[in-house]
Amino acid sequence: MGNRVAIVGIGQTYHKSNRPDVSQPEMVNEAVRAALADAQLEAKDIEASFLSNMETFEGIYLPDHGMADEIGAYMRSGLKVCTGGTSGASVVAEAFHYVAAGLFDVVMVTGFEKQDCGDTTAAITAACTPVWGKGVATGAIGEFAKQALTYMENSGSREEHAAMVRLKADRGACLNPYAHLKLGLKSIEEILASGYLVWPLRLLDFCPQSCGACALIYASESAAKKMAQKPVWIADVETVHQEPFRAGSFGDPTGLETYTQEVACERVYKRNGITDPIKDICMAELYEPSNWEELNLYERFHFCEKGEGWKLVEKGITEIEGAFPVNPSGGVIATNPIGATPTIRVAEAALQVRGDAGPHQVTRDVHTAMATALGGPNWTVLTLLKRSL
């Protein structure tokens, strides 16, 4: 695995639909400053910057242009990563590789998206040419709608179970000072009363478009020893990809495909001696664009048997005070600045390991946590974090 790498600084902006008060570089600067303050470092201490953002979501092709000064990266080494929805986790893995290889001792990872600049659905639709893939495009939501239907049919779950996931997310979001949607939802009925967008997905079943940024600072083992902040060790990273448009869908209605989530988690579990994921791992931050997808992911990551994901939420196992908390931050359904979304999963999991999550710190002691990412072109990226290696 190379040299050991620790996360020694974590910073986020608050999240909103619109940030007319700042330019994108100014917004990213807020997260960069927060991470530096958390690590008790200065910009001059960072050797390289690794960025994540979705090209064209802000209406321009190189959104990292004109940002070097604001993020303290002037004359630094580094690069930008764009792998679709997983970008913010691919950049976590990429920067890890550089430090693990011994090329740098202290680096910064920054994910960002300012979705009030552009048109996200236009950018997603423009991900495919009219030759193939554009087809009957209804944005990302149409795919997750079909997947929700298949999940319901196969598992015997009901809309109430998806509503329980939404309630859980909102409860976490209301405790999380950085979350975007804090709705104060009180009941399942309230969620089932929200209108359908694309059947069977309701308005409250899908993630928002957020503006925000998240920054992490990594240190090599030798550098981490001199740092003020408690280290959270990156125990493992894994990336698995596949072509999503063969079956015409994110999910696999064919039953022929192997899911990238299953391949990725099985590799991580094997390498790290994890035999019973929800006991050996203490909590997870999942990339769930919809509440239905969270139920699906419980099964794909082997948190339960197939067709039983909804039972985890019904029994309260994945609540903040449950035996295996999932997305105590409120998750993607509450906060979704796309290029930063997977970086936030890692940041939130790291805060839980450090015990610094604040009001949404889970009840269970977290010595190991997993952060996941999902995105076109059907990639899964996993990050496993530990308090000690």
Which residue in the set 22, 117, 137, 192 belongs to the binding site for other proteins (CB under 8 A)? 137
Residue 246 or 279: the one with the smaller Cβ distance to other proteins is 246
Q: Is 208 one of the binding residues for other proteins (CB under 8 A)?
A: no
Do the Cβ atoms of 191 and 185 come closer than 8 Å?
Answer: yes
DSSP 114: E
Residues 246-285 that bind other proteins (CB under 8 A): 246-249, 251, 253-254, 256
The total number of residues shown for the chain amounts to: 389
Residue 103 or 127: the one with the smaller Cβ distance to other proteins is 127
What 3-state class would DSSP assign to 206? Answer: strand
- The whole-angstrom separation of Cα 49 and Cα 85 is 20
Do the Cβ atoms of 203 and 359 come closer than 8 Å?
Answer: no
Do the Cβ atoms of 386 and 353 come closer than 8 Å?
Answer: yes
Residue 22 or 253: the one with the smaller Cβ distance to other proteins is 253
Of 124-132, 168-176, 210-218, 219-227, which part binds other proteins (CB under 8 A)?
124-132
CB of 144 to other proteins, least distance (A): 9
Do the Cβ atoms of 176 and 327 come closer than 8 Å?
Answer: no
Do the Cβ atoms of 212 and 14 come closer than 8 Å?
Answer: yes
Residue 143 or 285: the one with the smaller Cβ distance to other proteins is 143
Cα dist from 23 to 30, 168, 216, whole Å: 11, 33, 21
Chain Cα centroid distance, residue 34: 19
- The whole-angstrom separation of Cα 256 and Cα 117 is 40
Which residue in the set 150, 194, 272, 361 belongs to the binding site for other proteins (CB under 8 A)? 150
Of 133-141, 174-182, 270-278, 300-308, which part binds other proteins (CB under 8 A)?
133-141
Structure tokens at 145: 């709608």
Do the Cβ atoms of 228 and 243 come closer than 8 Å?
Answer: no
Q: Is 146 one of the binding residues for other proteins (CB under 8 A)?
A: yes
Q: Is 174 one of the binding residues for other proteins (CB under 8 A)?
A: no
Which residue in the set 77, 138, 194, 272 belongs to the binding site for other proteins (CB under 8 A)? 138
Q: How many residues bind other proteins (CB under 8 A)?
A: 38
Specify burial of residue 4 (Cβ count, 10 A radius: 0-12, 13-18, 19+). Answer: middle
Specify burial of residue 226 (Cβ count, 10 A radius: 0-12, 13-18, 19+). Answer: exposed
Q: Is 158 one of the binding residues for other proteins (CB under 8 A)?
A: no
Which residue in the set 21, 44, 132, 275 belongs to the binding site for other proteins (CB under 8 A)? 132
Q: Is 183 one of the binding residues for other proteins (CB under 8 A)?
A: no
Residue 264 or 362: the one with the smaller Cβ distance to other proteins is 264
CB of 310 to other proteins, least distance (A): 19
Of 15-23, 85-93, 128-136, 221-229, which part binds other proteins (CB under 8 A)?
128-136
Residue 51 or 295: the one with the smaller Cβ distance to other proteins is 295
Q: Is 139 one of the binding residues for other proteins (CB under 8 A)?
A: yes
Q: Give the CB-side neighbour count of residue 162, counting CA atoms within 13 A.
A: 30
CB of 56 to other proteins, least distance (A): 11
Which residue in the set 44, 75, 153, 273 belongs to the binding site for other proteins (CB under 8 A)? 153
The radius of gyration computed from the CA coordinates of the chain, to the nearest angstrom, equals 19
- The whole-angstrom separation of Cα 47 and Cα 63 is 22
* List of residues contacting other proteins (CB under 8 A): 119, 121-122, 125-126, 129-132, 134-139, 142, 145-147, 149-150, 153, 195-200, 242-243, 246-249, 251, 253-254, 256
